[in-house]
Structure 1
């Protein structure tokens, strides 16, 4: 009996459910706040990208891209991205505490990208082959010309790296990290990013995830 009690007491507590967390004002406030912020970002981003596209920048030397032939791999790139997002969302939606932190991290990641894009005006890499995104190009990149200066840091790579952190340890996290590596390699094959953009992406994903943990602490206490 004592051994059974010890095993029971050492078992991890179940994760809080949506009904449990929704009763907490702190959780509701943080969830509704980040959803409103993401909607606001969606309204601001098209004008911001039109601004950076019109602004002159500099071309960086990139020894890796110099020896890497450019190819159009848009289909494979966005197939990997949208598959990664779909799998992660299916995992996160039933886990509201993890989902809340992931949403905050995603919003913070976009704010960091807006900051770095504003601070580092760049011209696209030599040999660029335009990425053709069937969804985002229509919704967010509303510009008379293609957006090619959305460079430092790679949002495609960083988003999947962030999802790998958000889902927690396990097989899914390892799969998403592999997806992030694949996507980073594919955007380099396309010459859509400098190698520096891709190399920096996981660090910004980790920073966003850490900041989100600070922002959401106390909003999902366990029962």
Structure 2
């Protein structure tokens, strides 16, 4: 069921992001970004993201219950993210340097102009944190904690997110993972 819902989300998300991009929003003050010079670190950012996702998936594949919880968490995370984007229209931070993701740009955000307003909260940071919570304790979790912190820093260096976006990713990822545990347990009891 969760895979079907994730595929449905993947099919609907391009239109939603086009709508988010088209509407006006607020530009927030951000003293951290005002202090931090912007640089293009797309290559490093997506190396961290994709290597982190790869590590998380490899560690979860032999653990189907953890994998299932992670998938439910990812679905809930995107639900929360879409709700936040709907409720909080924002303009991109000053000095934004476009992130260039070779995979997502082609598959999900295929639009005539780049998507720059998918801001609150950082999906990159939240996804890596969700995987960190999902994998068993040990060196992979420690590597994913470092990757999560690093991606949070890199999207700030890129000025692709406000500091608030990165910080908010933490409670949203934790809430999504916690709720996913409830959903997975409920579904297992009623299967």
TM-score scaled to structure 2, two decimals? 0.97
Q: Which runs of 4+ in 1 moved over 4 A?
A: 218-221
Q: Any conservation in 2 of the 1:73–1:186 contact (CA below 8 Å)?
A: yes
TM-score scaled to structure 1, two decimals? 0.83
Deviation at 1:171, TM superposition (A): 1.9
Offset from partner CA, 1:83-138 (integer Å, 9 cap, x none): 00001111111110110000000000000000000000000000000000000011
How many Å separate the matches in 1 of 2:24 and 2:171?
27
Which of 121, 146, 163 aligns to 2:89? It is 121
- 1:182 is matched with 150
- 1:156 is matched with 124
Q: Verify: 1:133 aligned to 2:88, yes or no.
A: no
The structure with the largest alpha-carbon Rg is: 1
How many Å separate the matches in 2 of 1:141 and 1:89?
23
Deviation at 1:220, TM superposition (A): 5.2
Q: Any conservation in 2 of the 1:97–1:220 contact (CA below 8 Å)?
A: no
- 1:79 is matched with 47
Deviation at 1:168, TM superposition (A): 2.5
**RMSD, aligned α-carbons:** 1.0
Question: Superposed, which structure 2 residues align to 1:86-125 within 5 Å?
Answer: 86-125=54-93
Extract unaligned runs of 5+ from structure 2.
none
Decide whether aligned partners of structure 1 residues 137 and 105 sit closer, same or farther in structure 2, where only a CA change above 3 A counts: same
**SS of corresponding position for 1:78:** helix
Which of 36, 40, 43 aligns to 2:11? It is 43
**SS of corresponding position for 1:217:** helix
- Give the paired residue count: 189
Deviation at 1:219, TM superposition (A): 4.8
